C-alpha cells in the first residue's frame, strides 16, 4: 500500500508543479506548453552517401571546404574510429537502422549481389526487423525519413509496400526508395550490374522463344488453345521484350524515382532538382514538428555518382566534380542546421553526421576521380576488411549535454546509434534478438573512457573478412585479416577492372596464418606483423580467433533478401505512375524551380 500512496503523492506533486509551470508559461508567454517532454531530445541523423573520411576539413582535409560540418564537430564530439558495419549501402544501412549486422536480417549477400538492384525486386528489410524509428514512434516521437532508402519496396504486389519506410516506423517519407546510380543520368555510362542485365536479357530471349513455339504449335494445330490467349500472351511478352530491348533507358524510369509517403511523385526524377527538394522537405519537417519530439533521418543523395551539382557549386572546388558535390553537400547540411537553430531547437536536438561507408575509389572517369578520399586508410567502398571501406566520419552534437570540441579515438560502430537513440527516447531495445550496437552515451558524455566494444567483426557480404581487438587494459588496437580482396596492380588499393572488389571466390586471398596489424602504430595497415616475430603474434591471433568462434555461435540462418530471386526485376512489383512500363509523372513540378 505504502508505495502506491507515495507514488500517488509524487504524481500529485508533479501535476501541481506542472500546473504551476503552465500558469507561469501563460503569464509570461515565453515557453511553449510542450515543456513536459523536454527530457526527450529531438534526434536529427544526417547520413551522406559514399563520402570518404578524408573529404572533410574536420578530419584533416585542407583543400575541400566543409565549414558547416566542421562547425558541427567544433560544437560537439568527433569520433575518429567510427566504423560502418558493411562497406556497401544496402547492408550498411540495414545494420544502421536495426543495430544488428546485416547478415542477421538477410540483408547481406552470399551470392554476387551485394545490394538491391531494382525498385522492383522482392528483397528488402524484413517486416519482423525493428528499426530505431519504430521504437521512437512508440515513445511519442514523430519520425521522418527524407532522402535515400535502398531497403526495398514491395514483396508480392505493386502496392503492398512491405519494405517501405512507412512500414518500418517512419511517419513520413520523402525521397528515393532506391539509390542514385549513373543510369539516373541520361548522359552517363550505366552503372547497373551488367551480369544481371545479361541474365535478364537471356530470360527475355527464352520467353520470346517460348511464345514463338506456342504460335507455331497453334498454327500447325499441335496445341489447342484459343487464338485470343495466344495473342495476349504474345503481346505481353513482346511488350516486355521490346521494353527491355529498347532498354536501358527504362532503367532510369524504373529506378530513379521520388516518392512522398506511398505515392510516386516523380518518375523519372529530375536530378538537378533533387537536392533542393530534399532540403525543402527536411526544413519543412523540422518546422512542422518543432514542438517535438521528432526523429528526422536525412539520408542525403550526395555524394554518390552521378554527382549532379547545381550551378552555384559547379566548378568552385579544387577537386573537380566530386569536390563540387561535397561542398554542395556541406551547404545542405548547413541549411538544415540553420533551420534547427532558427526554431530554437539547437540545445534540445541531438545532431549526428556520418557516411554509410568509405569513399568509392574505383569511381573514376579516365583519370578523373569521381569517388571519395579515405585519407591515410587503405581501401574503400566494397572492401570490408581494409579500414578505408568502413572508417567513416562520426559527429554528435548536443550543446549543454555533450562536451564541445571533444575528440574520441575509441572504436565505435554505426550500429551503436540504434541503442543510443532508443535510450534517449526512453525506450528499450528488443530483447528477443542479438543487438550488435552498444549505447554511446557513456562515452559521449565522458562518463566512460573505454568503448563498450572489445571486438568488432568486419564483414564483406556474409563473409567475415577481418576482426578488430581493442585491448581493454592497454588500449592497444589490433586487426586480424582472414581474407582480403586481390588488388590490381598490387598495392594500388583497387581491384581489377572498374567494378567492386569481390567478397569471395577467385578475386580474394585467404590468409592462413592470418595477417595481423598493430593499428595503434600502423593505422594505414602497411606493415603486417610477421608470424615469426615473437609470441605477441601468436597470442593476439589466438585471442581474436576465440572471439570470432564465440561470435559465430550467435549467427543464425535467415531468409536471404539479396538472393537472385529477390534481387531480380519483377514487372509486377514495379512502382509506377502512369501506364506500365512507360511509367511517367511529375506531381511536384514547381514552375518556380528548375
Ligand X SMILES: *[C@@H]1O[C@H](CO)[C@@H](O)[C@H](O)[C@H]1NC(C)=O
Query: Computed over its alpha carbons, how large is the radius of gyration of the chain?
Result: 26
CA distance 281 to 289: 12
Using rule CB under 6 A, residue 126 touches ligand X = yes
Is there a catalytic annotation at residue 89?
A: yes
The secondary element (H helix, E strand) that includes residue 466 is strand 463-470
Between residues 106 and 461, which has the closer beta carbon with respect to ligand X?
Answer: 106
Using rule CB under 6 A, residue 226 touches ligand X = no
Residues 370-409 that bind ligand X (CB under 6 A): 372-373, 375, 399-400
Going 347 to 408 to 420 to 18, the CA torsion angle's sign is negative
CB of 180 to ligand X, least distance (A): 18
CB of 404 to ligand X, least distance (A): 7
Between residues 175 and 372, which has the closer beta carbon with respect to ligand X?
Answer: 372
Using rule CB under 6 A, residue 128 touches ligand X = yes
Using rule CB under 6 A, residue 328 touches ligand X = no
**Vertex 221: Cα angle to 218 and 226 (nearest 5):** 50
Between residues 112 and 319, which has the closer beta carbon with respect to ligand X?
Answer: 319
- The alpha carbon torsion through 308, 94, 437, 47 (nearest 10 deg) reads 10
* Residue 232 C-alpha from the chain's centroid: 42
Residues 80-119 that bind ligand X (CB under 6 A): none
Give the per-residue contact string, 33-62, with ligand X (x = CB under 6 A; - = no): -x-xx----------------xx----xxx
- Which residues are within 8 A (CB) of 78 and not within 5 positions of it... i.e. 6 or more apart? 58, 393, 394, 395, 406, 407, 408
Residues 60-79 that bind ligand X (CB under 6 A): 60-64
Is there a catalytic annotation at residue 510?
A: no
Q: Measuring CA to CA, which residue among 544, 518, 523 is closest to residue 458?
A: 544
Using rule CB under 6 A, residue 558 touches ligand X = yes
Using rule CB under 6 A, residue 139 touches ligand X = yes
CB of 159 to ligand X, least distance (A): 23
Which of these ranges, 369-377, 458-466, 473-481, 541-549, lies near ligand X under the rule CB under 6 A?
A: 369-377
Give the per-residue contact string, 331-360, with ligand X (x = CB under 6 A; - = no): ----------------x-------------
Using rule CB under 6 A, residue 461 touches ligand X = no
Within 13 Å of residue 255, how many CA atoms lie on the same side as its CB?
A: 25
The secondary element (H helix, E strand) that includes residue 172 is strand 172-176
CB of 132 to ligand X, least distance (A): 15
Using rule CB under 6 A, residue 566 touches ligand X = no
Between residues 237 and 370, which has the closer beta carbon with respect to ligand X?
Answer: 370
Using rule CB under 6 A, residue 140 touches ligand X = yes
**Vertex 57: Cα angle to 521 and 294 (nearest 5):** 105
- Which stretches of 250-363 are assigned E, i.e. beta strand? 258-260, 263-267, 294-299, 349-355
Using alpha carbons, list the distances in angstroms from residue 110 to 46, 85, 200, 361.
29, 16, 20, 23
Between residues 109 and 251, which has the closer beta carbon with respect to ligand X?
Answer: 109
The owner of cell 572546388 is: 317
Using rule CB under 6 A, residue 21 touches ligand X = no
Which positions lie near ligand X, rule CB under 6 A?
34, 36-37, 54-55, 60-64, 126, 128, 139-140, 319, 322-323, 347, 372-373, 375, 399-400, 433, 558-559
**Residues designated as active site:** 89, 150
Amino acid at each position: 500500500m505504502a508505495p502506491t500512496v507515495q507514488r500517488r503523492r509524487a504524481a500529485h506533486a508533479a501535476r501541481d508543479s506542472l500546473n504551476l509551470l503552465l500558469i507561469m508559461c501563460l503569464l509570461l508567454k515565453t515557453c511553449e506548453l510542450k515543456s513536459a517532454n523536454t527530457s526527450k531530445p529531438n534526434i536529427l541523423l544526417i547520413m551522406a552517401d559514399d563520402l570518404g573520411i578524408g573529404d572533410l576539413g574536420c578530419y584533416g582535409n585542407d583543400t575541400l571546404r566543409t565549414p558547416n560540418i566542421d562547425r558541427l564537430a567544433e560544437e560537439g564530439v568527433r569520433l575518429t574510429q567510427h566504423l560502418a558495419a558493411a562497406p556497401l549501402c544496402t547492408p550498411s544501412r540495414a545494420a544502421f537502422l536495426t543495430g544488428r549486422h546485416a547478415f542477421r536480417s538477410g540483408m547481406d549477400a552470399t551470392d554476387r549481389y551485394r545490394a538491391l538492384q531494382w525498385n522492383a525486386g522482392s528483397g528488402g528489410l524484413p517486416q519482423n526487423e525493428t528499426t530505431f524509428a519504430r521504437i521512437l514512434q512508440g515513445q511519442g516521437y514523430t519520425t521522418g525519413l527524407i532522402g535515400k532508402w535502398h531497403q526495398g519496396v514491395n514483396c508480392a504486389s505493386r502496392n503492398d509496400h512491405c519494405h517501405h519506410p512507412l512500414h518500418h516506423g517512419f511517419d513520413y517519407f520523402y525521397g528515393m526508395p532506391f539509390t542514385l546510380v549513373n543510369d539516373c543520368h541520361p548522359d552517363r555510362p550505366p552503372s547497373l550490374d551488367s551480369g544481371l542485365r545479361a541474365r535478364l536479357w537471356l530470360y527475355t530471349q527464352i520467353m520470346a522463344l517460348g511464345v514463338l513455339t506456342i504460335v507455331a504449335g497453334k498454327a500447325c494445330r499441335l496445341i489447342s488453345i484459343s487464338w485470343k490467349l495466344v495473342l495476349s500472351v504474345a503481346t505481353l511478352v513482346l511488350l516486355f521484350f521490346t521494353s527491355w530491348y529498347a532498354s536501358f533507358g527504362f532503367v532510369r524510369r524504373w529506378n530513379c524515382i521520388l516518392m512522398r509517403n506511398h505515392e510516386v511523385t516523380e518518375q523519372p526524377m529530375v536530378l538537378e532538382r533533387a537536392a533542393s527538394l530534399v532540403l525543402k522537405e527536411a526544413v519543412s519537417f523540422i518546422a512542422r514538428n518543432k514542438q517535438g519530439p521528432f526523429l528526422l533521418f536525412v539520408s542525403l543523395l550526395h555524394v554518390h555518382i552521378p554527382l549532379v551539382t547545381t550551378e552555384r557549386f559547379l566548378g568552385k572546388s579544387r577537386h573537380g566534380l566530386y569536390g563540387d558535390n561535397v561542398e554542395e553537400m556541406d551547404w545542405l547540411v548547413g541549411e538544415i542546421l540553420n533551420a534547427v537553430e532558427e526554431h530554437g531547437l539547437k540545445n534540445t536536438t541531438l545532431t549526428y553526421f556520418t557516411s554509410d561507408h568509405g569513399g568509392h575509389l574505383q569511381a573514376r572517369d579516365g583519370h578523373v576521380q569521381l569517388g571519395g578520399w579515405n585519407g591515410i586508410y587503405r581501401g574503400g567502398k566494397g572492401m570490408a576488411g581494409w579500414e578505408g571501406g568502413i572508417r567513416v566520419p562520426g559527429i554528435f552534437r548536443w550543446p549543454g549535454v555533450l562536451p564541445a570540441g571533444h575528440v574520441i579515438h575509441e572504436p565505435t560502430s554505426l550500429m551503436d546509434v540504434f541503442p543510443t537513440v532508443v535510450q534517449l527516447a526512453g525506450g528499450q531495445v528488443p530483447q528477443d534478438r542479438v543487438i550488435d550496437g552498444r549505447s554511446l552515451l557513456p562515452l559521449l558524455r565522458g562518463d566512460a573512457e573505454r568503448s563498450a566494444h572489445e571486438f568488432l567483426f568486419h564483414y564483406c557480404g556474409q563473409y567475415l573478412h577481418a576482426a578488430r581487438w581493442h585491448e581493454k587494459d592497454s588500449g592497444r588496437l589490433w586487426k586480424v585479416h582472414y581474407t582480403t580482396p586481390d588488388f590490381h596492380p598490387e598495392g594500388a588499393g583497387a581491384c581489377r577492372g572498374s567494378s567492386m572488389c569481390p567478397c569471395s571466390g577467385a578475386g580474394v586471398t585467404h590468409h592462413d596464418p592470418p595477417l595481423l596489424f598493430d593499428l595503434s602504430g600502423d593505422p594505414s595497415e602497411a606493415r603486417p606483423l610477421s608470424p615469426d616475430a615473437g609470441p605477441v603474434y601468436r597470442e593476439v591471433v589466438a585471442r581474436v580467433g576465440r572471439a570470432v568462434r564465440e561470435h559465430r555461435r550467435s549467427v543464425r540462418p535467415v531468409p536471404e533478401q539479396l538472393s537472385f530471386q529477390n534481387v531480380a526485376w519483377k514487372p509486377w512489383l514495379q512502382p509506377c505512375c502512369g501506364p506500365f512500363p512507360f511509367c511517367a509523372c511529375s506531381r511536384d513540378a514547381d514552375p518556380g524551380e528548375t
